[in-house]
A and B are shown apart, each in its own frame.
Chain A
Amino acid sequence: DQQVKQNSPSLSVQEGRISILNCDYTNSMFDYFLWYKKYPAEGPTFLISISSIKDKNEDGRFTVFLNKSAKHLSLHIVPSQPGDSAVYFCAASYSGAGSYQLTFGKGTKLSVIP
């Protein structure tokens, strides 16, 4: 049973346009969400996170939106650049005692076309 789902395996976007990557979760105990970017032959790089007490967090070109009622979050990249081409992973955790792991989705491969 996958608790974090990224239903789009891939996404292509024109350079300069907005990229929107989506993520759904099923475990209502999750209260902290992260996005990681991964290039081939490298480890995941932390991008941005959001706590469940917020519905939006911004960092430069990256914005994460959280809709708790829908158990859905999205990552917006504006404007998209060719260097953004990578696999993006959504991850979730909860701060309850005894739980420290990150649960990942399967990833979405973003291709930004020049």
Chain B
Amino acid sequence: DAGVTQSPTHLIKTRGQQVTLRCSPKSGHDTVSWYQQALGQGPQFIFQYYEEEERQRGNFPDRFSGHQFPNYSSELNVNALLLGDSALYLCASSLLLSGGTDTQYFGPGTRLTVL
């Protein structure tokens, strides 16, 4: 049973560039959430996708956008990169239950470095 997978593992970009990160959820899961983890901090919620729509968004600017595909996989796009966007980007998948979402399971993350 494949867990959550993310690509690429590492990425180096320069300020002002754009980046796309990819995530495939755990088998059987239909919901994908994205988190940013800066050094020494806990993960911070960016947004969550369900049924190909953004269901909830955290306190991140519009430069951060996403997409979910019919096979439940997801992309995170960041435009106009800033030095402060350097972080580990984590994807988590879960299953929407009637009373809310189930436990979120995380992928290994993509380490983004902005120079």
Contact = CB atoms under 8 A, between A and B. Distances in A.
Looking at chain B's contact residues, the main secondary structure is: strand
Q: Number of contact residues on A: which range applies?
A: 20 to 34
A44 B45 contact: no
Q: Number of contact residues on B: which range applies?
A: 20 to 34
Contacts of B105: 46
B51 to A, nearest CB: 13
Contact of A95 (B92, B100, B107): B100
Interface stretch (B12-20, B35-43, B61-69, B73-81): B35-43
Given A95-B100, A100-B101, A104-B42, A43 B106 contact: yes
A100 B30 CA distance: 13
Interface string B41-61: 111110010000001101000
Interface of B: 4, 6, 31, 33, 35, 40-45, 48, 55-56, 58, 90, 92, 99-101, 103-109
